Amino acid sequence: MPVLDATLPRRILSTPTAGPLAALVLACVFFSLQSDQFLTGGNFSLIIQQVMVVGTLAIGQTLIILTAGIDLSNGAIMAFGGIVMTKLAVDHGMPPLLAIAAGLAVCAGFGLINGLLVMKISLPPFIVTLGMLNVAFALTHIYSQDQTVTDLPPAMTFLGQTFTVGGTNVTYGSLLTILLFLLFAYLLGQTAWGRHVYALGNSPEVARLTGIRTGRLIVGVYTLAGLVYGIAALLLVSRTGVGDPQAGQTDNLDSITAVVLGGTSLFGGRGTMLGTLIGALIVGVFRNGLQLMGVPSIYQTLITGILVILAVTVDQLSRRRNR
């Protein structure tokens, strides 16, 4: 029995999401003490709504970072996807579901191109996605002519509608985001594909020698990430009720922030999807909590910056210890 008692706490400690989760819980406790408006179902539903777009982008970002890549283009791809779906539906009268599908396809296409450039020409992901960031940003502004698209068909904003759970209004988009996280947590943790992604991130050489078709895997990961950015575009459109060409300009870095805060290593091969969800929630909880306390938003940026450096430091230290 004493043996069991000793291993249980250690098991909890060695769970990669333990640190981020502790930070999230402590932040929640702190804000609950500071503001009596914080700890309500409605407020938590609000926080999830506010992180669902960046959170969903961070799902794709997590996949790519696990392969030791990085994606700077996700916010711009999302913005373009959002403009494509809204403009097709509003200006060209395309049925909303078809327009949404077209937007998803465009985003997946961007992901595919990213993946092919990284794999076929062996370009560093940082450079490929930096280029794609500019391409997608420019296309967004060219195609939209810098005009916000309004008067969207109801099917496009459906995910922004709410249903009631125990007196709290929850948006369908929040639910979809949570389901996506669970789906990808399952894919990463429980399938051969997920193990291959980790293996690739740990060592591409070893992964290849064990018979994993790494080229195909990389292209698949980037394409899948692109598709997820398309879903983020739909979430954004439904949340704001417009197609906004200015959207997503800092979301690439915000999604990396969520991934890093969630304990995923930027060197690849280590991290979890649920960690990323926690990371996204940490950002949302601080933004909301500080606002409820009446603290100007610039302090939220300051604190997020400190948190990121702490999280990366922890990752680096624990790597060193494992070595």
Q: Which residues of this protein are in contact with other proteins, per CB under 8 A?
A: 10, 13-14, 16, 18-23, 26-27, 30, 34-35, 37, 42-43, 46, 49-50, 53, 145-148, 150, 236, 239-242, 244, 246-250, 263, 286-299, 301-303, 306-307, 310-311, 313-314, 317-318, 321
Largest CA distance in the chain: 70
Nearer CB in complex with other proteins: 69/263: 263
CA gap 67, 146 in Å, rounded = 35
Q: Output the smallest distance, CB 123 to other proteins, in A.
A: 28
Phi, psi of 263 (to 5 degrees): 90, 10
- Least Å from the CB of residue 50 to other proteins: 5
Q: How far is the CB of 214 from other proteins (least distance, A)?
A: 29
Q: Which CB, 15 or 210, lies closer to other proteins? A: 15
Please, which residue, 64 or 290, has the CB nearer to other proteins? 290
Calpha distance 231→177 (Å, rounded) = 9
Instruction: Give whichever of 34 and 203 is closer to other proteins, judged by the CB atom.
Output: 34
Least separation in angstroms between CB 240 and other proteins:
6
Question: Per the structure block, which two tokens stand in for 191?
Answer: 């399938």
Q: Alpha-carbon distance 101 to 106, whole Å?
A: 9
Q: Which is nearer to other proteins, 16 or 269 (CB)?
A: 16
Residue of 86, 76, 230, 98 lying closest to 144 (CA atoms):
86
User: What HEC string does 7-55 produce?
Assistant: HHHHHHHHCCCHHHHHHHHHHHHHHHHHCCCCCCHHHHHHHHHHHHHHH
In order of 85, 156, 227, 309, the CA distances from 236 in angstroms are: 11, 10, 14, 28
Nearest approach in angstroms of CB 40 to other proteins is: 8
Give the nearest distance from C-beta 135 to other proteins in angstroms.
Answer: 19
| Residue closer to other proteins (CB basis): 103 or 262 | 262
Least distance (Å) between residue 266 CB and other proteins: 16
CB-nearer residue toward other proteins: 105 or 310: 310
Find out whether 35 and 292 touch, Cβ atoms under 8 Å.
Answer: yes
Amino acid at 193: W
Nearer to other proteins, 20 or 60 (CB): 20
CA dist 282 and 266 (Å) reads 18
Q: What is the DSSP string of 74-104?
A: HHHHHHHHHHHHHHHHHTS---HHHHHHHHH
Q: What DSSP designation does 310 have? A: H
Shortest Cβ distance from residue 76 to other proteins (Å)? 14
To other proteins, the closest distance from the beta carbon of 66 in angstroms equals 18
Q: Judged by CB, which is closer to other proteins: 224, or 228? A: 228
Are 288 and 32 in contact by the 8 Å Cβ rule? The answer is: no
Structure-token match 């200015």, residue found: 246
